[in-house]
Amino acid sequence: MDKRFTDIIQIIKQSRANAIKAVNAELINLYWNIGEFISKKIEKSEWGDAVVKELANYIHQNEPEIKGFSDKNIWRMKQFYETYKDFPKLSTAVREISWSHNLAIFSRCKTVEEREFYLKLSKQENYSFRELDRQISAGLFERTMISNSKLSTLLRQNSLDVTTTFKDSYVFEFLHLPEPHNESELQRGLVKQMKDFILELGKDFIFIAEEYKLQVGNNDFFIDLLFYHRGLQCLVAFELKADKFKPDHLGQLNFYLEALDRDVKKENENPSIGILLCKDKDNEVVEYALSRSLSPTMVSEYKTQLPDKKLLQQKLNEMFDNENNENI
């Protein structure tokens, strides 16, 4: 490509992106206004429920070039408006994502907190519809809320906001792993399905290598998976364990982090972070093991099947109930 013209190409692409955003915002405004109009007419008893079907038929017969206004879709517009009308902050956010994304969020999410969570995340991570649908099915909101992340002392004291970057548990249902499976099968699956893996991790993660080689003295050592995180500006080493967490797992990971910081990390980057990813863990054992760890590490577990959302919601409700009782 001729480098003289790259700035012009960037201007064209940015202008097109802005135009798409403007069109989308206007479309959402249209659906909002229609929903508001119908909602208020029905609320004042000026219209009955049957009028919506009459309206859809009228549009179809008299304005056949106007598509997307079936009675079902018009009812969704009414539901859309009524869902957000009392939440002005969210009514702004809905205009920043597509109608299909909005449909998934307001029809599948049960609370205003959950809707706000996915509205922000959809924009922040630039999710496709498939990616958003998968995150809702995987109970990302509930898992984030009830997360009981175990961090090492150094990671807890870190000025960087790591609690919103890493999860207490990850879901790898896309791997279709056999039971039992070993670390090699887990690693091969994650590398093969890297796009889905990064979706679960978060899109700020950049994959560097599998079996990343470190040379210390006359010995070679290999990190299972090495990433770079753009937001945290640091290397992130993942060690995989296809069994239950054991305290001695941390020694190996701490060694890797020391080697990364001495030999790989650049001067402008923050200290490397280590994630020990286990099939299972006992939180109390993890807490004891991490309490005196001098490296920025955390222990997470992974699941090979989508979680039961009803069970997650039940746990979340119990957590809120306990917090309310403590505040009484």
User: 39: Cβ–Cβ under 8 A, 6 or more apart, which residues?
Assistant: 78, 81, 82, 85
Residue-wise pLDDT for 240-299, tens only, equals 999 999 999 999 999 999 999 999 999 999 999 999 999 999 988 988 888 877 688 999
Residue-wise pLDDT for 46-96, tens only, equals 888 788 889 999 998 998 888 889 999 999 999 999 999 999 889 889 999
Task: Note the pLDDT of residue 94.
Answer: 95
User: 209: Cβ–Cβ under 8 A, 6 or more apart, which residues?
Assistant: 225, 226
Residue-wise pLDDT for 110-147, tens only, equals 899 999 999 999 998 889 999 999 999 999 998 888 87
Task: Note the pLDDT of residue 1.
Answer: 58
Please report which confidence band the pLDDT of residue 326 belongs to, taking 50, 70 and 90 as the band edges. low
What's the helix, strand, coil split of the chain in %, to 5?
A: 55, 15, 25
Please report which confidence band the pLDDT of residue 5 belongs to, taking 50, 70 and 90 as the band edges. confident
Task: Note the pLDDT of residue 118.
Answer: 95
Q: Which residue has the tokens 């939180």?
A: 283
* Six token digits for residue 141: 């909101």
* Six token digits for residue 236: 């992130």
| Residue 153 near residue 290 (C-beta atoms within 8 A) | yes
Task: Note the pLDDT of residue 6.
Answer: 84
* Six token digits for residue 18: 């802005």
* Six token digits for residue 326: 């403590």
User: 147: Cβ–Cβ under 8 A, 6 or more apart, which residues?
Assistant: 167, 168, 169
Chain centroid to CA 232 = 16
219-229 vs 234-244, strand pairing mode: antiparallel
Task: Note the pLDDT of residue 164.
Answer: 72
Q: Which residue has the tokens 């060694």?
A: 255
Residue-wise pLDDT for 166-204, tens only, equals 888 999 999 999 999 999 999 999 999 999 999 999 989
Segment holding 129, helix H or strand E = helix 129-137
> Which residue type is seen at 217?
G
Average pLDDT, the chain: 89
User: 266: Cβ–Cβ under 8 A, 6 or more apart, which residues?
Assistant: none
User: CA-CA distance, 122 to 96, in Å (whole number)?
Assistant: 9
Please report which confidence band the pLDDT of residue 300 belongs to, taking 50, 70 and 90 as the band edges. very high
Asked whether residue 160 carries a pLDDT value surpassing 60, the answer given is no
DSSP string, 159-181: SS--TTTS-SEEE-GGG---SS-
Task: Note the pLDDT of residue 320.
Answer: 64
Task: Note the pLDDT of residue 11.
Answer: 87
Percent of the chain residues topping a pLDDT of 90: 61
| Residue 246 near residue 282 (C-beta atoms within 8 A) | no
Task: Note the pLDDT of residue 163.
Answer: 65
> For residue 36, how many other CB atoms are within 10 A of its CB?
16
169-171 vs 297-303, strand pairing mode: parallel
> Which residue type is seen at 85?
K
Q: φ and ψ at 63, to 5 degrees?
A: -135, 65
Three-state DSSP class for residue 23: helix
Give the residue from 220, 176, 225 showing the smallest Cα distance to 205: 225
Asked whether residue 321 carries a pLDDT value surpassing 80, the answer given is no
